[in-house]
């Protein structure tokens, strides 16, 4: 019986200190921005496209009405109306159903308090924007963007992309040498978030400020109006939440502790296939 | 799982959730935390004024005007003195200009209409999130203050309003840097017609580049001051006294 050489595990340096610090700063500020943002949304839980509001005709709206003495929450999406009692439109506040867009447990603060929600939102908007600027500047200058995030030519071949999607669907993730770099789906997702969704968040947020619109009139043209910007801000936030959910699932499925450790200490373990021939004695790994 | 146990777990879950929310709110509403967060507001004002204090808000065309411009806040002041002016069609109404000015004034509506005027079609952005576009005609705020002669120590203009909202008189403050901004006007007409009561008759402020709550309606008196902390709640405005930022540009 021949003994199979065991695969060796090596710890590679995956994330720089700057990436780790900005990652967690980003995570905390995005979380607080989301919850305070939903408080702000609740002040007028209707979304429109264009420069102005077409009251009564939002493309997305939440509200409540009385039916047989009980409050019903509804969500309107285009031509569709959904009963969302208990979650959207009407939800419980201290056991009593009240009319509000998103429920108390999803807003900062839990009570309806637009002024305070704005204070939280605008403080962490600065934290978020400065953090993102720092990250993007270092990613471009330091080469992180080109080296780690932009897919290589062999990765963007349709055959490779399809193969990667098929592997992901079977929950098979790159191993060995291939695990040293991000796979093409990872790269696409990360790049889409840091280079598109997050900057769009900042720009669409700025477009909602009447003072910044005076300073940067092109913002209104970029998004097609203040109400469009408010809608795009909401849609982009939703896409970031979607990314977050997928991100969490993938972190867990592809090795929770290894992933978490790599974002804390920077070290990521990869299993390398055993060398075809036994290494000469005395050669330290 | 047996029903009572499930109920118990649900109860425990609900209590934990309530505890979590209460804990979050304790932090969210802590005065020191709120004070620290408010530092961002100063930053917003400084940065945006640095970017250009003379920048103009976008002006739109007549075709863009919102058919049903939403009237918010007070839409008919309950105050007796205001209602008396309504009955007289504002014939004896006068705008008082005083405080840190060389020549205190009391101007009739006709005198205000005789001042250099400006018409602008602009977007009104409510802090709640909605927007409406309207055409405003009014006296240039700068021309009016020049008539009274602002003293050098004046830093803000307090706009005292006729309406009582939620038990307190409405008021606002405008910084002197915005007094001479071309789009700062005291509007007496909207969409070509005299200002309606719902929109602030006989005059309201239009300081474009700021949110709706800064656009004081039913203005009765302009008081030039060097500080506003002795007025009402001391935060420089009706909504500011309830926690809203005084800058109001974002």
The secondary structure of residue B214, as a DSSP letter, is: G
Residue B219's alpha-carbon distances to A38, A53, A98, B159, B205, in angstroms, are 34, 27, 36, 6, 8
What is the Cα–Cα distance from A218 to B206, expressed in whole angstroms?
A: 23
Task: Name the band, by pLDDT with cuts 50, 70 and 90, for residue A277.
Answer: low
pLDDT single digits (tens) A246-275? 999 999 999 999 999 999 999 999 988 776
Query: Which residues of chain A make contact with B43, given a CB cutoff of 8 A?
Result: 126
| Interchain CB contact of B131 with A (< 8 Å) | yes
| Interchain CB contact of B166 with A (< 8 Å) | no
What letters, b where the CB count within 10 A reaches 16 and e where it falls short, cover A5-41? eeeeeeeeebbeeebbebeebbeebbebbbbbbbbbb
Instruction: Check residue B89 and give its pLDDT.
Output: 96
Mean pLDDT in residue range A157-177:
91
In a domain, B198, yes or no: yes
pLDDT single digits (tens) B183-199? 999 999 999 999 999 99
Q: Do B28 and A116 touch (CB under 8 A)?
A: yes
| Interchain CB contact of A265 with B (< 8 Å) | no
Mean pLDDT in residue range A157-168:
94
Show the tokens assigned to A140.
């471009």
Q: Do B127 and A210 touch (CB under 8 A)?
A: no
For residues A122 and A66, the answer to whether their CB atoms sit within 8 Å is no
A172: number of CA atoms within 13 Å, CB side? 8
Show the tokens assigned to B49.
């004024």
Nearest to A214 among B34, B57, B70 (CB): B57
In a domain, B76, yes or no: yes
Give the number of domains in chain B.
Answer: 1
Query: Considering only CA atoms, which of A254, A69, A197, A137 is closest in space to residue A262?
Result: A254
Give φ, ψ of B218 to 5 degrees.
50, 45
CATH of the domain at B124: 3.90.420.10
Strands, DSSP E only, in B77-116?
A: 95-99, 105-107
Q: Is the pLDDT of residue A38 over 50?
A: yes
User: Which residue of A52, A94, A104, A203 is the best one to mutate when testing the B interface, meaning the one whose CB has the most B CBs within 10 A?
Assistant: A52
Nearest to B68 among A43, A55, A118 (CB): A55
Q: What is the 3-class SS of B11-67, one letter each residue? A: HHHHHHHHHHHHHHHHHHCCHHHHHHHCHHHHHHHHHHHHCCCCCCCCCCCHHHCCC
Tell me the average confidence (pLDDT) per consecutive run of 10 residues in chain B, 250 residues long.
66 78 88 92 90 92 96 97 97 98 98 98 98 98 98 98 96 96 98 98 97 98 98 97 95
Show the tokens assigned to B86.
């309504």
Q: Looking at chain B, how many residues does it have?
A: 250
In a domain, B174, yes or no: yes
Residue A88's alpha-carbon distances to A100, B17, B118, in angstroms, are 7, 18, 44
Q: Is the pLDDT of residue A231 over 90?
A: yes
Residue of chain A whose alpha carbon sits nearest to that of B131: A52
**Owner of token pair 């910084």:** B175
Instruction: Check residue B4 and give its pLDDT.
Output: 63
Query: Which residues of chain B make contact with A55, given a CB cutoff of 8 A?
Result: 68, 70, 130
Instruction: Check residue A108 and give its pLDDT.
Output: 95
pLDDT single digits (tens) A80-122? 999 999 999 999 988 899 999 999 999 999 999 999 999 999 9
Give φ, ψ of B2 to 5 degrees.
-70, 155
Alpha-carbon distance B211 to nearest alpha carbon in chain A (angstroms): 7
Alpha-carbon distance B124 to nearest alpha carbon in chain A (angstroms): 9
Query: Considering only CA atoms, which of B95, B127, B124 is closest in space to residue B108?
Result: B95
Query: Considering only CA atoms, which of B200, B159, B198, B202 is closest in space to residue B178?
Result: B159
pLDDT single digits (tens) B85-133? 999 999 999 999 999 999 999 999 999 999 999 999 999 999 999 999 9
- Where do the structural domains in chain A lie, given as residue ranges? 8-45+106-272, 54-101
- DSSP letter string over chain A? -PPPPPPEEEEEE-S-HHHHHHHHHHHHHHHHHHHHHHHHHHTS-EE--SSS--TT--SEEEEEEEETTEEEEEEEETTEEEE-TTTSEEEEETTEEEEESS-GGGSSSSS--HHHHHHHHHHHHHHHHHHHHHHHHHHHHHSHIIIIISPPGGGGSHHHHHHHHHHHHTT----GGGGGS--HHHHHHHHHIIIIIHHHHHHHHHHT-HHHHHH-THHHHHHTSHHHHHHHHHHHHHHHHHHHHHHHHHHHHTTHHHHHHHHHTSEEEEEEPPPSSPPPTT---
Q: Do A208 and B125 touch (CB under 8 A)?
A: yes
Residue of chain B whose alpha carbon sits nearest to that of A117: B28
What is the Cα–Cα distance from B211 to B248, expressed in whole angstroms?
A: 5
What is the Cα–Cα distance from B203 to B163, expressed in whole angstroms?
A: 13
In a domain, B220, yes or no: yes
Residue B171's alpha-carbon distances to A47, A74, B24, B34, in angstroms, are 30, 37, 33, 23
In a domain, B209, yes or no: yes
What is the Cα–Cα distance from B198 to B96, expressed in whole angstroms?
A: 22
Residue of chain A whose alpha carbon sits nearest to that of B211: A210
Residue of chain A whose alpha carbon sits nearest to that of B38: A119
What is the Cα–Cα distance from B161 to B167, expressed in whole angstroms?
A: 13
Instruction: Check residue A284 and give its pLDDT.
Output: 47
Other C-beta atoms within 10 Å of B61: how many? 9
Q: Give contacts of A 86-105 with B, CB under 8 A.
A: 104-105
Q: Give contacts of A 202-221 with B, CB under 8 A.
A: 208-215, 217, 220
Instruction: Check residue A285 and give its pLDDT.
Output: 47
Domain carrying residue B168: 57-242
Instruction: Check residue B93 and give its pLDDT.
Output: 98
Alpha-carbon distance B158 to nearest alpha carbon in chain A (angstroms): 21
> Does the complex come out with an ipTM higher than 0.90?
yes
What is the Cα–Cα distance from A139 to A153, expressed in whole angstroms?
A: 20
Q: Which CATH code, of 1.20.950.20, 3.40.720.10, 3.40.50.1970, 3.30.700.30, is assigned to A8-45+106-272?
A: 1.20.950.20
Instruction: Check residue A176 and give its pLDDT.
Output: 85
Q: Is the pLDDT of residue A283 over 80?
A: no
In a domain, B37, yes or no: no
In a domain, B25, yes or no: no
**Owner of token pair 């979650």:** A87
For residues A246 and A197, the answer to whether their CB atoms sit within 8 Å is no
């Amino acid at each position: 019986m021949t003994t199979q050489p065991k695969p060796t595990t090596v710890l590679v340096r995956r994330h720089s200190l700057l990436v780790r610090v900005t990652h967690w700063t980003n995570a905390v500020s995005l979380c607080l921005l989301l919850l305070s943002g939903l408080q702000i949304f609740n002040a007028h839980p209707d979304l429109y496209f264009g420069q102005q509001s077409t009251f009564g005709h939002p493309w997305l709206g939440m509200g409540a009405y009385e039916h047989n003495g009980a409050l019903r929450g509804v969500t309107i999406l285009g031509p569709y109306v959904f009963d969302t009692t208990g979650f959207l439109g009407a939800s419980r506040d201290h056991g009593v159903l009240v009319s509000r867009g998103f429920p108390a447990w999803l807003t900062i603060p839990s009570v309806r308090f637009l002024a305070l929600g704005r204070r939280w939102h605008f403080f962490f908007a600065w934290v978020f924007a400065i953090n993102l600027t720092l990250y993007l500047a270092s990613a471009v200058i330091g080469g992180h963007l080109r080296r780690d995030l932009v897919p290589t030519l062999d990765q963007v071949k349709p055959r490779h992309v399809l193969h990667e999607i098929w592997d992901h669907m079977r929950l098979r993730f790159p191993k060995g040498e291939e695990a040293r770099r991000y796979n093409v789906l990872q790269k696409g997702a990360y790049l889409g978030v840091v280079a598109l969704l997050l900057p769009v968040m900042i720009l669409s947020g700025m477009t909602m400020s009447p003072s910044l619109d005076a300073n940067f009139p092109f913002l209104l043209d970029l998004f097609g109006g203040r109400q469009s910007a408010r809608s795009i801000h909401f849609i982009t936030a939703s896409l970031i939440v979607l990314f977050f959910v997928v991100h969490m699932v993938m972190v867990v499925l592809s090795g929770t502790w290894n992933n978490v450790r790599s974002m804390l200490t920077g070290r990521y373990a990869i299993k390398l296939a055993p060398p075809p021939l036994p290494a000469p004695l005395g050669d330290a790994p | 799982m047996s029903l009572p146990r499930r109920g118990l777990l649900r109860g425990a879950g609900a209590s934990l959730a309530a505890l979590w929310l209460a804990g979050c709110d304790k932090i969210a509403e802590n005065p020191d935390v709120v004070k620290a967060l408010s530092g961002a507001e100063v930053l917003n004002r400084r940065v945006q004024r640095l970017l250009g204090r003379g920048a103009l808000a976008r002006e739109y065309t007549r075709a863009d005007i919102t058919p049903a411009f939403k009237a918010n806040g007070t839409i008919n002041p309950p105050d007796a003195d205001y209602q008396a002016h309504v009955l007289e069609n504002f014939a004896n109404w006068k705008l008082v200009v005083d405080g840190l000015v060389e020549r205190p004034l009391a101007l009739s509506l006709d005198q205000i209409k005789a001042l250099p005027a400006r018409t602008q079609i602009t977007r009104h952005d409510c802090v709640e999130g909605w927007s409406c576009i309207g055409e405003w005609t009014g006296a240039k705020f700068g021309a009016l203050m020049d008539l009274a002669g602002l003293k050098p120590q004046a830093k803000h203009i307090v706009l005292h309003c006729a309406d009582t909202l939620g038990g307190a008189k409405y008021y606002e403050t405008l910084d002197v840097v915005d007094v001479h901004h071309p789009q700062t006007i005291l509007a007496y007409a909207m969409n070509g017609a005299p200002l309606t009561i719902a929109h602030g008759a006989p005059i309201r402020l239009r300081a474009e580049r700021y949110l709706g709550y800064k656009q004081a309606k039913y203005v009765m008196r302009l008081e030039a001051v060097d500080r506003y902390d002795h007025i009402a709640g001391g935060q420089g405005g009706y909504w500011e006294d309830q926690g809203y930022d005084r800058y109001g540009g974002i």
